[in-house]
Amino acid sequence: MKLSGQLVAMAVGIGLGATAAMFYLGQPRPAAAGSNDRFQDYAIATGPVSLNPRQQTDGVWLLDYRSGKLLGTVIDKSLGKIVGWAEVDLVGEFELAPKQDVHFLMVTGWITQGQAALYVAETTTGKFGVYTMGPGVNGTGVVIRRHDLTSFRKATEPAPGPVGPLPGGPAAQPGGPGG
C-alpha cells in the first residue's frame, strides 16, 4: 500500500513537471538581436528616433573611421525611404589629431518612449559623448544633437617643476652638475 502511494505521487510529480516544462519552453520569446555591428573602418547601430510624436521611425547611426565622421539618418516608414543624412565631425568633437590612431565604441540606449541615444566612447583620448537624432529645421530632414561630451579618465597631474634649492646649497638645475 505504501509503495503504490509513493509510485502514484512520483507519477503525479513527473506529470506536473513535464506539463510545467512544456508551458515554459512553449512560450514564444522575442529574438534578441544586437543593434550594432562593425566591419573594418565602419560601425553601425540602430535605435528609435522620434521625428513626429504620432509616428515612430528607426534611426541608423554609421561611424566612418576613415573620414572621422558620425553619420545619422532615419527611415520614413510610410515611403520606405531614407530621409537624408546628418553628420558630425568627430575629429573636431573629440579634439583628435588628423590620422591619429583611434578606437571608438558606440552603442544605443533607450532614453524615453520612441527615442534612443547614441553613446560614443573614444578609448585613446578617454572621451565620451551622448548624441540623439531629431527633426531638422522646419521639420524636414534630420539633425544630430550632442547632449554631452566628457572624459571618463582623470586629468593627468602636471609634471613637477624645477627642483627647488637644496639645503645649504644653490638650486639644482636639470642636466647640470649634480642634476
Buried b (16+ CB within 10 A) or exposed e, 9-36: eeeeeeeeeeeeeeeeeeeeeeeeeeeb
Kindly state whether residue 4 falls inside one of the protein's structural domains: no
- Number of domains, the chain: 1
Compute the Cα dihedral for 112, 68, 124, 148 and give only its sign.
negative
The domain containing residue 132 runs over which residues? 36-151
Kindly state whether residue 136 falls inside one of the protein's structural domains: yes
pTM: 0.64
* pLDDT at position 5: 78
Phi then psi for residue 150, to 5 deg, are: -140, 180
Q: What is the pLDDT of residues 140-169, one digit of tens each?
A: 788 899 999 999 887 655 555 555 554 554
* pLDDT at position 79: 80
* pLDDT at position 167: 54
Kindly state whether residue 31 falls inside one of the protein's structural domains: no
First-last CA distance in the chain: 99
Q: What is the pLDDT of residues 124-145, one digit of tens each?
A: 889 999 999 988 887 778 889 9
* pLDDT at position 33: 44
Report the candidate in 145, 132, 148 with the shortest Cα–Cα distance to residue 50: 132
For the chain (length 179 residues), average pLDDT per consecutive 10?
76 80 67 65 89 80 88 86 89 84 88 87 91 83 90 68 53 48
Kindly state whether residue 41 falls inside one of the protein's structural domains: yes
